[in-house]
């Protein structure tokens, strides 16, 4: 039994999927990107719903920005637009929500100061069922993700 638990822990560590005992909503690979002065920032991660019930990501907050919104980038007639997800985003039981450049993302507006590579920022994700989960986003270099999309 000891060997089994050690293997499981190692597997979890390797996948960098911390498990949340309280609600079992798991967050993988959170990150954000360095910004130019005055520019907004975007946050990315994968949220895995292991609670056994569908949930809604309703709101997001962070003390480093005046406004934080949940957006979806969409191509409308060949033009990329960002749509504020005012009703939140549903995550089915056993499903995942991928926040990535060009798709769903967290939008951080009116930053207290530009994001610099190597810093970390803490955001609070508010779920309808699972409650509030705090996630730390490391700031990566601009080239880390796709350019021209957030
Ligand atoms: Cu956006």
Whether the model clears a pTM of 0.75, i.e. scores above it, the answer is: yes
Cα separation, 34 vs 41, whole angstroms: 8
| Tokens describing residue 149 | 């999309």
Question: How remote is the CA of residue 61 from the centroid of ligand 1, in Å?
Answer: 14
pLDDT computed for residue 1 by the predictor: 46
- Give the domain ranges of the chain: 20-144
- Domain 20-144, CATH homologous superfamily name and number: PCu(A)C copper chaperone (2.60.40.1890)
Question: How remote is the CA of residue 42 from the centroid of ligand 1, in Å?
Answer: 7
pLDDT computed for residue 5 by the predictor: 52
Question: How remote is the CA of residue 107 from the centroid of ligand 1, in Å?
Answer: 5
Question: How remote is the CA of residue 22 from the centroid of ligand 1, in Å?
Answer: 30
Distances (CA, A) of 61 to 64, 112, 133, 148: 9, 14, 11, 24
Question: How remote is the CA of residue 40 from the centroid of ligand 1, in Å?
Answer: 8
CB 57 within 8 A of CB 89: yes
Per DSSP, helices labelled H in 1-150 are: 2-15
Question: How remote is the CA of residue 4 from the centroid of ligand 1, in Å?
Answer: 43
Question: What pLDDT digit, counting tens, does each position of 8-44 carry?
Answer: 554 444 454 554 454 589 999 999 999 999 999 999 9
Question: How remote is the CA of residue 5 from the centroid of ligand 1, in Å?
Answer: 41
Cα separation, 120 vs 12, whole angstroms: 22
What is the per-residue DSSP string for 94-142? T-EEEE-TTSEEEEEEEESS---TT-EEEEEEEETTTEEEEEEEEEEPG
Q: Name the pairing type of β-strands 65-76 and 120-127.
A: unpaired
Query: Residue 37: which residues within 8 A CB-CB, separation 6 or more?
Result: 114
The overall average pLDDT reported for the chain is: 86
CB 86 within 8 A of CB 108: no
The protein residues having their C-beta less than 5 angstroms from ligand 1 (an ion) are: 71, 82, 107
Cα separation, 108 vs 124, whole angstroms: 12
- 3 state DSSP class of 95: coil
Poorest-confidence range of 67-76, 106-115, 121-130, 137-146?
Answer: 137-146
């Amino acid at each position: 039994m000891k060997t089994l638990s050690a293997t499981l822990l190692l597997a979890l560590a390797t996948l960098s999927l911390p498990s949340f005992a309280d609600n079992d909503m798991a967050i993988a690979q959170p990150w954000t990107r360095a910004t130019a002065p005055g520019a907004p920032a975007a946050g990315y991660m994968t949220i895995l719903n292991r609670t056994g019930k569908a949930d809604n990501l309703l709101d997001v907050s962070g003390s480093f920005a005046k406004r934080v919104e949940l957006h979806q980038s969409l191509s409308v007639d060949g033009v990329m637009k960002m749509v504020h997800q005012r009703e939140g985003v549903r995550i089915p039981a056993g499903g995942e929500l991928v926040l990535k450049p060009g798709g769903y993302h967290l939008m951080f507006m009116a930053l207290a100061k530009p994001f610099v590579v190597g810093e970390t920022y803490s955001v609070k994700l508010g779920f309808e069922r699972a409650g509030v989960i705090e996630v730390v986003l490391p700031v990566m270099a601009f080239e880390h993700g796709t350019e021209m999309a957030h």
